[in-house]
Amino acid sequence: MPLRSPQLDTTVTAVNSALQRARAGLADVAGMGEITEPDDPEIRAVIRQYVRAFEAADVPALVRLLTDDAVLEMPPVPLWYRGSRNYGLFMRRVFDARGTGWRMRQLTANGQPALAAYAPEPGGGHRLHTLQVFTVTDGRVARNVVFADPGVFGAFDLPGQFSFGDFRHAR
């Protein structure tokens, strides 16, 4: 009788076979070998440009920083956009709905470049809105995974609010 994995309710042989297929599939993923470290000077430059464009609500500049097939997603919200044009249309709606004058704080999340986005408050100051985690390949943003869950914010010990003056010193 073959050994079974009680957690997966299948045989060890079947689990090993699935693992082998998954590894082979990952080996074929385009661009996986092109991902660089977040402290790479080119990556830092791309993220700095993204911050400038985002804080200026400059959608065309944001779009120029994206790969043609860039993906923006917001788990667990069923929001998923593919392509620089769609990404740009979504960002335009964000700035139209939430206003301009956002502030960003640079971070690292799971070894990837990340930004905490602070939306402007009607009475002044800025409130933590999202944590954005980037994949940059070939000098462009290929993926932005955006988290709006306060539980995620807590893992990064991010302040919930900033006044403009305080924010400048926090970068």
The pLDDT tens digits for 49-105 are 999 999 999 999 999 999 999 999 999 888 899 999 999 999 999 999 999 999 999
Residues 80, 74: Cα–Cα separation, whole Å: 7
Identify the band that residue 45 occupies on the pLDDT scale cut at 50, 70 and 90: very high
The gap between the terminal CA atoms of the chain, to the nearest Å, is 61
Q: How many domains does the chain have?
A: 2
Contact 5, 19 (CB under 8 A): no
| % residues pLDDT > 90 (the chain) | 56
> pLDDT tens, 104-140?
999 999 889 999 999 999 888 999 999 999 999 999 9
Question: Based on the domain organization, do 12 and 43 belong to the same domain?
Answer: no
Instruction: Look at residue 170 in the predicted model and tell me its pLDDT.
Output: 43
Question: Based on the domain organization, do 43 and 91 belong to the same domain?
Answer: yes
Indicate if the pLDDT at residue 171 is higher than 60.
Answer: no
Question: Based on the domain organization, do 16 and 99 belong to the same domain?
Answer: no
Type and span of the H or E element at 169? helix 164-170
Q: Structural domain of residue 113, as residue ranges? A: 35-170
Indicate the pTM of the whole model.
Answer: 0.74
Instruction: Look at residue 23 in the predicted model and tell me its pLDDT.
Output: 67
Q: Which residue has the higher pLDDT, 91 or 171?
A: 91
Residues 67, 140: Cα–Cα separation, whole Å: 6
Question: Based on the domain organization, do 76 and 5 belong to the same domain?
Answer: no
Contact 77, 122 (CB under 8 A): no
Instruction: Look at residue 169 in the predicted model and tell me its pLDDT.
Output: 40
Contact 65, 120 (CB under 8 A): no
Residues 119, 167: Cα–Cα separation, whole Å: 12
